[in-house]
Each structure stands twice: as C-alpha cells, then as structure tokens.
Structure 1
Amino acid sequence: MLDCGDLILRYLERLGVAYVFGVPGGSIEPFYNALARSERQGGIRAVTARHETGAAFMADGYARETGRIGVCCATAGPGSTNLLTGVANAYADNIPMLVITAQTSLNRFGQGAFQESSCTGINTLDMFASCTRYNTLISHPEQLESKLLHALSHALGQQPGPVHLAIPLDVMRHTVEDASMALGLTAFIPNEVVPDSGSVQRVVSDLTDVMQATIVLGEDAIHSADQWIQLAELRHWNLVTTPRAKGLVNSFHPQYRGVFGFAGHQSATEALKPENADRVIMVGAALDEVSTAGWSPDGLLSARLIHLSRNPGHLTRATMAGHVVLGEPRHVAEALLKDLGELENRASLIDWDFTDGVPEFVEGRFRESCFDTSGPVKPQALMTYLSKACPETTRTLFDTGNSFLWGIHHWNVGQPGRPLPSRNLFHIGVGFASMGWAIGASVGIALAAGDAPVLCVTGDGSYLMSGQELTTAAQENCNVLMVILNDSSLGMIRHGQVLGDAEPIANELPRVDYAKMAEAIGVESYRITTLEDLHELDLTSILARPGPCLLDVLIDRDESPPMGVRMKVLNETK
C-alpha cells in the first residue's frame, strides 16, 4: 500500500523531477511524510523556502532550467494564498508547474477549522482558477490518480503553465494500492504539432522572392533558432529578438539588430519598419505589450506579419497578420531552407567585425556609459563588464524593475564569433513581472544546473521583499552570485515618476549595507562602490566554487534606464 503522497511522488519521479519546493505546515504534513520517505531512499527531496512565494519562484526556475515540470506545495490557508503571486507569474510566462495545496479535513469543512480555505471558508480553489491551466479539489482518494494525470497533461501541453491540486488532510492520509501505478504517462511524451502543409507552402511562396525581411525570435523559438539564424545568414535578412528571447542570438552577430519591445534597441525598431522589411516573421512569441513595443503600429502589427508558433495562445492576437501558422516553426524554417537549394555558401563567410566589447546596436548615451569607470557604478558599465567576465555557461536572471531594463538593453550574450549553448541562458520574468522573482528562481535554476554558475541581478527593493531566500541558497550550497543594484530607492518607480511628470512620492528606501546582511547569515559578500572594486575581484574563482556570494553594488542612481516604451504606454491615457 502507498499513501497518496507516495503515489504523487512516484509519478513525479517517472517525469524526472528531483525537488519539491515549499514550506511545511500541519495540513500538508502527510505529503511531507512522503517526501521524508522519498529522501531516505534517494528520491525526490524537499527544499524549504522561507516564504511560499519564493517556493513558487524556485519551482519556476527549476522548470526553466530542466524543461521538466516544477513542483511547489503549501499548507492550507495563508500557505496557499502566499503561493498565488508565484503561480500567477508562471502562468503569464507559460512555465509548467504542479502546485499542491492542502485543505483541512473534509469533515471539518464549514466549521471554522484552523486555516480553513475550503469552499465554505476563504476559498483558495477559486483564487487559483484564473492563474492555472487546470484547477481541482481531490475530494476522494479514488480521484487522485486520474486528476493528477489530467493536471500533468495540461501543465506539459502545447500551452504550458501551472496546474493546481487542492488535497484535504484526510484524503492525503489515505492509502492506495501499489497496482494503481499501472497507468502510463504516454500523454507526456513530447507530441510535435505539425503545421498544415498548405499553410507552410503559402508562407514559402510568399517569402521566396522577398529581399528585405526581419526575423523576430521569441522565447519559444528555442528549438528552431539555429535554422532561423541560418536562413537570415543565407538571405541577408535582419535578426531581432523579443526581450524574453534575448539569449537565443549572439549579441555580436553581424545581422542581429538587438531587442525589439520593452527596453529594446532603436536598431531593432528600424529593422521592422516597412522600408526595411517587406515581411516580418515572428517565431514563438505572443503579441503582448512587452514584445510589440507597446503595440506599436510601425513594428509587428501589420499585414506584413507572418506569425508562427506551436502555442495557440501566442496566435490569438494576430488578427492583422498576412499568415498565421500553428505548429512547430522548425517545419517552416526547413521548408524555406530546402527551397533555397544547396547550402554550400552558408555563413562560413560571415564577417564578425572587430568589436570594442559593446554591440553596434547600443547607441548614444547608453553606449558611452558602458565605458565609464568613474564615480558610482554605471549600470551600463556593470552589465558590460559582468557579461564579459562571467563564464559562457552562466545562467543569468534579471529581476523586475531597473534590473531587467538594464539587462535587456546591456547584457551581452556570447562572444564575437563563438557559438552559443543550445539553450537560452538569459531569463526574465516579465509577463506578470513580480518583484523578487529572480531571487527564488535563481535557487531553483542553481539546484538543477549542478556546477554551472548562476547570476541573479536584482534591485534593493526586490531584495528587501524576497532576500531571505538567500538563506535557502546558502543551506542548499547553491552556486549563485547575487548582485544587488543598490540605489536606496524603488528605481523604476522613481525614474518613471520623473519621466512621466508625476509626483515624486513613495520611492525612497533606507540606506542598507547588504554585504553586512549577507555576512550575518554566513554568505561571502563584497560591497562595490566603484567599478575598480569589481575589477579587483576574482570573479572566475567566485563563480567556480560552491555556495552563494553577494555583491552589494552602489550604482549611480541618476542614470535613467531605457524605459521609453513603458512610459509611452503609461502616458497614453493622459
């Protein structure tokens, strides 16, 4: 016989899951008992976050790194509601996640039990309904197996995201027969969606004679990015990425024009204009504010658009597009490459021009500041230096606020002429944009990435919200370099108020020595007041050894980040 918790873990083991992230409590104790048994046998083990939101962020990061489902759990009542922000963040970013929450015993529903969150109390099931792909209460042990499999199939489908199982205390304590493990997991074999052949041929015919085009890679283009880059090289077309997909193209590629959209580059905007692109091919991304530069009519939103994705949710807003194709985009890329004939003249002849360490698409004052080593640290110079100093295997996360603005605009992916890893190592949580996301997610990524270093760039505002998760990184001996952009303010708010001619209010934070805070919990730390301080550190050694390290970087608070697109949207109603 198995407890219900053991049954859940057996299925998760078959999917390759190694960790469950959460915070224990009375109503979820039977599941933690199952985790204890699992850990003793060398199976899935529990990682204890300091806050349930952090646990959800960790599961998010684990899923991004492994491509498997991330798992988080919480007890009844406030444990469940604390998960909500992290779950919503994963939902907005299409991250597969299994969320397990406890309920008080069924026979106590409606009686005011401690932390009751049933349909007759504070109804947490209703709360999860709008931010999950599947959401259900397990009211009988006999339901568990089938509902678990339904949930997993939704989480790992073509429109991935979080799923939620609410399990009462007495149900979780029930036992089931071992034989019930006979059900298969064939629904979770990666089933490729092949696009309609007629649609593919129409795209090929439309593009055959096009001389000027721009390919826009979104985050879901990861499985076909090499083919689209190859096509751009053959046709001498422009390459652009959305903010989420920045890590798919070498920043120094001669045909790469940078990021279009949120915190993007003017050269990417120019590459999408009608005079420079007869067709715009968007691969694996949604037409949201972040990827369309605030729904700019001069960019993606025209009949010139060819929109390709395996995720039907990406295509719902493409009503203006000339072509919309549902299915794996690589089939379209392969058909286009085949149509071009022999490939002997491919970009072995690509000319990687000499570079000063900053891509050509970084312009104006932003470019000048990349080389400024005077006074308080310029965020532009910090990003430029770190992106060159960190090993090519470094996983990088940029938190909500000025952190991801500077990261999108200034983090350099790769080195000139060198191939990139066959994965996206650049991560932002920009869909729901939860402050502190990167802190928890960096722990989940680090646990999955083994010895590979993880860089988390966050602001002091986000760190004051979620910095306690650094103690989880220390407890788990995670190789995370935590970089805090310390300007004693909510920087994005402060600069936004100035740029939007709003009242300067509620943006100041206390002056805090975050290096001393880290030292107090036993984490190696350094306070960086000038770029020379950073140059003196042996980052290679720091990133090569286990355990976290924190850099408290006093940045120039007067440097305004690249947030013009965001301000345009905010000011539209004025």
Structure 2
Amino acid sequence: MNAAEVIVDYLEKHGVEYVFGVPGGAIEPLNNALHKSKIKVIVAKHEEGAAFMADGFARVSGNISVCCSTAGPGATNMITGLASSCGDSIPVIALTGQVATSLFGKGAIQEFAVQSFSIVSMFRHISKYSDIVINEKKAWEMISKARRLALSGRKGPVHLNLPTDIMKRKAGDSNGRCNTTQVLGFDREGVIEAAKLLMEAERPVIVAGWGSVLSQADKELLMLAEMMDIPVATSPKAKGVISEAHPLSLGVLGFAGSLVSQEYILSRDVDVMLAVGTSFNEFVTSGWDKRLRPMKSLIQIDIDCNEIGKNYYVDVGIAGDAKTVLHELAHQLLRQSKTSGKLGVSRRQEVQAIKEEFAVTPDTCDNLPYKPARMIKDLSDSLPEDTIYFVDNGNSMAWAIHHLPITQPYTFYVGLGFASMGFATAAAIGAKLAAGARPVVSIVGDGSFLMNGMEVATAVNYKIPVIWVVMNNSMLGMVYHARKLSGIPEGIPSGFAPVDFVKLAEGLGARGIRITEPGQINRELIEEIISSGMPTVLDVIIDQEAVPPIQSRIASLEKLYT
C-alpha cells in the first residue's frame, strides 16, 4: 500500500462510513485510495459545509467522522467548521492536501506560507492534534494517533496534512486496527463527599450540561434525579437530555431558557447544586449571574479538569466521565441511605406549582404576520416525537430553545461552542445519514441559510431528505432586535433584500414550499414531505417585529462588553 491507502484502509477498518469533502489536485492520492475502498464520499459545495456535515454525523451517530479538502484555500475554508467541532468536543478527523515536499517554499499553486507548515500551526489552535505526514512509513502511526486522541478523554477534532508525494510512496501494509482506551475512573472521596452533601440538602438542584449528552448519561441522570427527587435544569446545548415533560424538569437555564428554571435556581434559596458536564459559560449563566452560586455547596463533575472551578468556586470537584460518575454517585447515595434511613424528600409539588405560575403558553395566535412562536408550535405538533432537530445560531435558536418541547434525549442540537452561523444548515445533512429513517429538521434563519444554503444541492445530489425550515424575515434578526432593545443605530445594516427561498430550493433541485399563515405547517403536510423522500425547504415568512427571548443576552452584552 501507499501512504494514502494505508490511511484509508485504517479508517475503513475502524468503521468509517462516509468522508465529507471537496476534491482537488493536492488530495488526488487520497481520492484514488477512497475509490478502491467501500467508504462513501459525500462531495459538499464548500469545505466549511463538509466539516459541518462531518460534525453532524458524529453528533448523531456517536462515532468519529471524517472530512477532507485540498491544499491552501480548501484547508482554510474548513477551519470554521472544525473550530465548531472543537468548541463542542466533537470527534472529527480533518484530512487536508498539501503540495509535494520537493516544492515547499517555491510558491506552488495553493501552497500556504513559507515551507508549508503554517496550515498545521493554524489547525493546532482549533484541534486536539495537528501534524503533517512527512514520512510515508509514519502514515499508519499518525492516523492511529489522530483517531485515538479524537476519542480519548474530552473528545474533539484532529487534523493531518498530507503532502502529495508522500501519499504516493509505498508505506508497506496497514497494521490493522488500533483500540482506544477511555479513562472512566473517578475520585471516590469526591463522590462520597458529594453524596453526603446531596443527602443533607434541603433545596438541591442539578444543572446538566453538554458533557452529560456527550457521555450519553441520560439514564444515570434520570435515575439520580428520581432517586433523590432533585429538580433538573439543562444548559441550552443539553436541552432534552431529561424529558422536558418530566415532573422534575425545570427546562433550560440561561439563554432563551425557562422562567421555571430561573425562578427555582436564581430566585429561591438553592443550597446544593450538582453541575454535570457544564463549564458555566456565558449562555447557561446569563453572563455569569452571581445568584447562580448555591447558598451552601457547588459540586461540579467534568471530564476536563480545566473546567472545574473555572467560573464559580467549587466545593467538591470530581474529574471524570459524567455517565461513570453519576452511576457511582447514585450507588453511593443508596449505600448512605441504608445508614441514614432516608433518601430525598419530594419536591415535585413545588416544581409543579412553579410550572403552573411561570409556564409559557403555546402561541395559538392565528393573526398575520406569522409569529415565530406559533411556527415552532406548528412544527412540534406536526413532527414525530423522535424527530432530530438541528437549530442554527441567531433568533431561530432563541425561539427553538424557549418554545420547542423536547421529550427524547439526543434529539436537539445547537452548535453553541463556537456559535457559527450556517452550522445547522449543513450539519443536518451529515446527521440525516446517521439518523436512518428518523426525520431530521434544520431550523434556520434566512441569514444563516444564505451562508451555507448551497449545501441543499449536496442533499439533492445524494438523495438525503433533510427538511429545512427557513425563518424568512429579510434580516439578521438577532442583530436587529438586540440593537432595537439596546438603542444601537444601524451603522452596519442588519437587513437585506428579500430572498425567494422556494425558487432557490427549486433551482438547486429540491422541493420548495412557501408558508405564510399559521396552520399551513400541519401533520398532513409534514407526513407528505417525509413520505416523498425529497430534500425540502419550507420558506416561512415570519413577523419581522416579533421580539425573541434574548433579553438575557442583551443584559450580558450591556454588562460585560461595555
């Protein structure tokens, strides 16, 4: 085998089904190797879209994913997508082409900077590992190391730069499979102390973050909450890791979140807080609100020690995988309960009373223009419960977080680690390949859709039936409403000329449907779209002046950025 074949053979043996990318001269050796393999190649319209697709596939499948590009601009186009994966700890392998080593420094086409090593340096800032394969005999070792690092500890993206001549050289046989090993240990003393604090707590709460999703800890989280009768709030990224219909669910805490979680956590005397897999970033804390700190003790579980105590003083920090630590914590509480003779007291009546007082009433307004909150209700009422939602950054995210009820874990995804516009537009395509028959819906603003909307053509090309719901108001809505609420002038305009997304969809080979009135999105329409098996764009004309639930973000901007 040559070096490119060794890399592809390694990926195939480790279950990689798809590679998302854009071809080019510098990766033709990789192209030749992929042609001989069983791996399917999904050619995107832009390398950023390819990286987002790989990210979406990895989120839904739980497996590592791969994207590729040619040298120079192909590689730099991929950086935003990989940075998003880095921000959200998603295991993606990025393979980028490079000019032949004999041409380094001579100004070959698409060579990036002096001696061609600068692209590796750029990727090092947005990945767990970035290197250049400079010796064909090291190809298997380096792809093995890259995969191992992507999947170990706090997961994340990795990058290998592949010079054309090195990829063509004979590298011997592939060394076959290479196992990864997860560190699933925990601090037993920390678990014992945490159990003691929870046992003694009068008004405890659990805040479940993205780490609880990454570790697939929904069952352990639910078991612990029900055992001790502890209310649970989630971060925006972890929305739905516990059913929002559960009696102990407080909903989302922070940006565009639930008034119920705000009332229980910020306005009442919580004495012990168990934080699971959350770094307490700006979105979940509404700009690091001091009221979030519990009266007595904060317990924080995180696989990354750097996150523990970063933003709030922690009384008990437990480094470890959320699923493993929660499992052990639950058993420790059972052991301690045998001594004390009690577990948690019931708090469901209090949570129910708060829900009744602060519940958000679904928008049933039939008036025009179409209200975004009503649109979210129509979607929720029309789609199957196991639908997987990818929601883009902007007002679309705020409306979805606040109004879309999620009752099954791992069905709601936002790219908030880097908060890149255009993420959900492309990521939903990779997600659908991993989701099988389950519907995948991308809820996206028109501004975000215009950034990566050409990827609809990718879905058409490979018959991937994603449903895009474009909230069309001819503006960058979050910018517009933030300025309006804060009295900021339109120096850099937030509005733009109206776009006909039905014609755009049809021009790309997809189905386009214009939605202008409440009720037009209904179960019959959605069932017909799903049964058609066609990529479909719903062009939804919404009320420009409907104010999204972004007040906490505005308050953060005024408090932190002035």
SS in 1 for 2:467: strand
Q: 1:332 to 1:310 in 2, by over 3 A?
A: farther
Q: 1:265 to 1:465 in 2, by over 3 A?
A: same
Matched, 1:168 2:163: yes
Shift of 1:300: 4.3
Q: Residues 229 and 346 of structure 2 are in contact (CA less than 8 Å); yes or no, is this contact kept in structure 1?
A: no
Matched, 1:518 2:505: yes
Task: Specify which of 422, 447, 455 is matched with residue 433 of structure 2.
Answer: 447
Q: Residues 281 and 288 of structure 2 are in contact (CA less than 8 Å); yes or no, is this contact kept in structure 1?
A: yes
1:374-453 alignment to 2 at 5 Å? 374-414=367-407, 420=408, 423-453=409-439
Q: Residues 99 and 111 of structure 2 are in contact (CA less than 8 Å); yes or no, is this contact kept in structure 1?
A: yes
SS in 1 for 2:66: strand
The equivalent residue for 2:516 is 529
Give the Cα separation in 1 of the matches to 2:106 and 2:334. 66
Give the Cα separation in 2 of the matches to 1:9 and 1:313. 34
SS in 2 for 1:473: helix
Task: Specify which of 186, 205, 220 is matched with residue 196 of structure 2.
Answer: 205
Matched, 1:562 2:549: yes
Q: Aligned letter for 1:218?
A: G
Task: Specify which of 108, 123, 136 is matched with residue 103 of structure 2.
Answer: 108
Matched, 1:479 2:479: no
The equivalent residue for 2:26 is 27
Matched, 1:335 2:332: yes
Task: Specify which of 57, 65, 68 is matched with residue 70 of structure 1.
Answer: 65
The equivalent residue for 1:268 is 261
Q: 1:225 to 1:32 in 2, by over 3 A?
A: same
Shift of 1:313: 4.2
Root mean square deviation of aligned Cα: 2.6
Give the Cα separation in 2 of the matches to 1:302 and 1:17. 48
SS in 2 for 1:165: strand
Give the Cα separation in 2 of the matches to 1:95 and 1:71. 11
Q: Aligned letter for 1:374?
A: N
The equivalent residue for 2:175 is 181
Give the Cα separation in 2 of the matches to 1:515 and 1:287. 40
Give the Cα separation in 2 of the matches to 1:287 and 1:345. 28
Q: 1:192 to 1:129 in 2, by over 3 A?
A: closer
Q: Aligned letter for 1:321?
A: V
Shift of 1:515: 1.1
Q: Aligned letter for 1:26?
A: G
Shift of 1:536: 7.7
Q: 1:530 to 1:143 in 2, by over 3 A?
A: same
Task: Specify which of 209, 217, 220 is matched with residue 211 of structure 2.
Answer: 220
Q: 1:337 to 1:394 in 2, by over 3 A?
A: farther
Give the Cα separation in 1 of the matches to 2:441 and 2:17. 22
Q: Residues 70 and 96 of structure 1 are in contact (CA less than 8 Å); yes or no, is this contact kept in structure 2?
A: yes
Give the Cα separation in 1 of the matches to 2:468 and 2:153. 33
SS in 1 for 2:499: coil
Shift of 1:121: 5.4
Q: Residues 445 and 470 of structure 2 are in contact (CA less than 8 Å); yes or no, is this contact kept in structure 1?
A: yes
Q: 1:427 to 1:291 in 2, by over 3 A?
A: same
The equivalent residue for 1:280 is 273
Give the Cα separation in 1 of the matches to 2:344 and 2:556. 41
Shift of 1:517: 1.4
Q: Residues 193 and 310 of structure 1 are in contact (CA less than 8 Å); yes or no, is this contact kept in structure 2?
A: no
Q: Aligned letter for 2:301?
A: L
Matched, 1:503 2:489: yes
SS in 2 for 1:561: coil
Q: Residues 230 and 347 of structure 1 are in contact (CA less than 8 Å); yes or no, is this contact kept in structure 2?
A: no
The equivalent residue for 1:236 is 229
Q: 1:5 to 1:337 in 2, by over 3 A?
A: farther
Give the Cα separation in 2 of the matches to 1:172 and 1:348. 63
Give the Cα separation in 1 of the matches to 2:146 and 2:127. 10
The equivalent residue for 1:129 is 124
Q: 1:354 to 1:532 in 2, by over 3 A?
A: farther
Shift of 1:303: 5.8
Q: 1:274 to 1:465 in 2, by over 3 A?
A: closer
Gaps of 5+ in 1: 415-419
Instruction: After superposing the two structures, state which structure 1 stretch, 446-455 or 45-54, moved more.
Output: 446-455
The equivalent residue for 1:417 is none
Give the Cα separation in 1 of the matches to 2:455 and 2:96. 21
SS in 1 for 2:365: coil
Give the Cα separation in 2 of the matches to 1:397 and 1:424. 11
Q: Residues 511 and 536 of structure 2 are in contact (CA less than 8 Å); yes or no, is this contact kept in structure 1?
A: yes
Task: Specify which of 242, 252, 257 is matched with residue 249 of structure 1.
Answer: 242
Give the Cα separation in 2 of the matches to 1:127 and 1:345. 52
Structure 2 length normalisation: TM-score? 0.92
Q: Aligned letter for 2:273?
A: V
Q: Residues 133 and 162 of structure 1 are in contact (CA less than 8 Å); yes or no, is this contact kept in structure 2?
A: yes
Q: 1:301 to 1:172 in 2, by over 3 A?
A: farther
Q: Residues 301 and 320 of structure 1 are in contact (CA less than 8 Å); yes or no, is this contact kept in structure 2?
A: no
Instruction: After superposing the two structures, state which structure 1 stretch, 516-525 or 265-274, moved more.
Output: 265-274
Shift of 1:301: 7.4
Give the Cα separation in 1 of the matches to 2:203 and 2:221. 15
1:350-369 alignment to 2 at 5 Å? 363=359, 367=360
User: Between Structure 1 and Structure 2, how many residues are aligned?
Assistant: 552
SS in 1 for 2:504: helix
SS in 1 for 2:76: helix
SS in 2 for 1:246: coil
Gaps of 5+ in 2: none
Q: Aligned letter for 1:456?
A: S
Give the Cα separation in 1 of the matches to 2:139 and 2:537. 43
Give the Cα separation in 2 of the matches to 1:82 and 1:327. 34
Give the Cα separation in 1 of the matches to 2:385 and 2:3. 43
